[in-house]
Amino acid sequence: MKAFIVERYGKKAALRLADRPEPELRDDEVLVQVHAAGVNLLDSKIRDGEFKLILPYRLPLILGHDVAGEVVKVGRNVRQFKPGDEVYARTDDFRIGTFAQFVPVREASLALKPRNLTMEESASVPLVALTAWQALVERADLKKGQKIFIQAGSGGVGTFAIQLAKHLGATVATTTSTANLALVKSLGADVVIDYKTQDFEEVLHDYDVVLNSQDGKSLEKSLRVLKRGGKLISISGPPDPAFGKEIKSPAFVKLVMRLLSAGVRRKAGRLGVEYSFLFMKADGSQLREITRLFDEGVVRPVVDRVFPFEATNEAMAYVEAGRAKGKVVVRVK
């Protein structure tokens, strides 16, 4: 099969199109013929070597975490899917590889794709939607009437998180550039801050939840917009000790995580708020809940551009540039 592979870690190292063997299927997995693959900043960070300590992949490596496609083969223990099913998923860590013609996916991480979405639209959903779900529903337990600040509202996670938060009954504030004000308002944002002309810390006060996806400076400012008892959930770090236990990392890596997060946890404690780091996980049951929201028209995908498979490197560069509105997708078939 054709696949884009990483042969060495390095900043902006180009992926190489190569012939690779079709993946071997485990008993609890489904082999998916890839129709489309979502492109995420996580792919670039893995290629650059930023996750070598906590995700020690063996090279050469096929990147890609989001897939939409058709089931062509199932493992002997698989019961929920059959050949011909149209499915989508965020692949599991250490079984990634959707920048290819075929990818194996655990049955527990897979779901039937939304009926009213194309393959390209479906491929844009899993990683960002599961991130938002695990942050807002699982971690924050966001309730009707609460206030949430979602950073970078026009990005992949932001565009879905705004819609999910509104569905849950929350008041939503977000940041974006001047060019994307109309987009985030159309998704349901109640308070929109143009980060080029406004400082969100001067506008927002007494929020229940912050979903942080930006740098350390924004994180510290975000702590101060929360009310006492509020929760800051960060998807951009620093990782906390709980994450070290979650990924069963070696003692040294756990120590590094503890040291990295010590400062922000102390500041959160002084302010009477809670800090936690979220590294989302593949989850087919949650994805089925998300599918229902799409099928009922509660949420919609936001796709900026679809690139041909041959232009996967260009698609990654476009995502890295930080200008995408919503998601970027590669059409494989």
- Tell me how far apart the alpha carbons of residues 175 and 185 are, in angstroms, rounded to a whole number: 11
The residue ranking higher by pLDDT, 168 or 263, is: 168
Is 83 domain-assigned?
yes
Residues 72 and 37 in one domain: yes
Q: What mean pLDDT comes out for the span 297-302?
A: 98
52 lies in which domain range?
Answer: 2-125+301-331
My answer on whether 193 and 204 are in the same domain is yes
Tens of pLDDT, residues 67-101: 999 999 999 999 999 999 999 999 999 999 999 99
Is the pLDDT at 23 greater than 80? The verdict is: yes
**How far from the centroid of its chain's Cα atoms is residue 286's Cα?**
14
Q: pLDDT digit string (tens) for 261-294?
A: 788 889 999 999 999 999 999 999 999 999 999 9
284 in any annotated domain: no
Same domain, yes or no, for 26 and 55? yes
Q: Per the domain annotation, does 294 fall within a domain?
A: no
Q: Is residue 121 domain-shared with residue 152, that is, in the same domain?
A: no
Residues 25 and 94 in one domain: yes
DSSP label at residue 141: -
Residue 119 and residue 132 in one domain: no
> Does the residue 282 lie in any domain?
no
288 is a domain residue: no
* pLDDT tens, residue by residue, 234-269: 999 888 777 767 766 666 566 666 766 788 889 999
Same domain, residue pair 143 and 262: yes
Residue 64 lies in a domain: yes
Q: Is the residue at 12 inside a domain? A: yes
Same domain, 91 and 188: no
Residue 55 pLDDT: 85
Instruction: Say if 289 falls within a structural domain.
Output: no
* CATH of residue 195: 3.40.50.720
- Phi and psi torsions of 79, nearest 5°: -120, -25
Of the chain, the percentage scoring pLDDT greater than 70 comes to 95
What is residue 177's predicted lDDT score, i.e. its pLDDT?
95
From the list 38, 11, 18, 9, the residue with the least C-alpha distance to 287 is 38
Strands 29-39 and 66-74: antiparallel
Judgement on whether residues 218 and 119 belong to the same structural domain of the protein: no
List of residues 6+ apart from 65 with CB closer than 8 A: 38, 40, 42, 43, 90, 91, 96, 98, 126, 127
- Please give the average per-residue pLDDT across 206-227, as a whole number: 95
pLDDT at 148: 98
Q: Domain containing 35 — which CATH number?
A: 3.90.180.10
Are residues 153 and 70 part of one domain? no
Residues 68 and 52 in one domain: yes
Number of domains in the chain: 2
Q: Say yes or no: 254 and 310 in one domain.
A: no
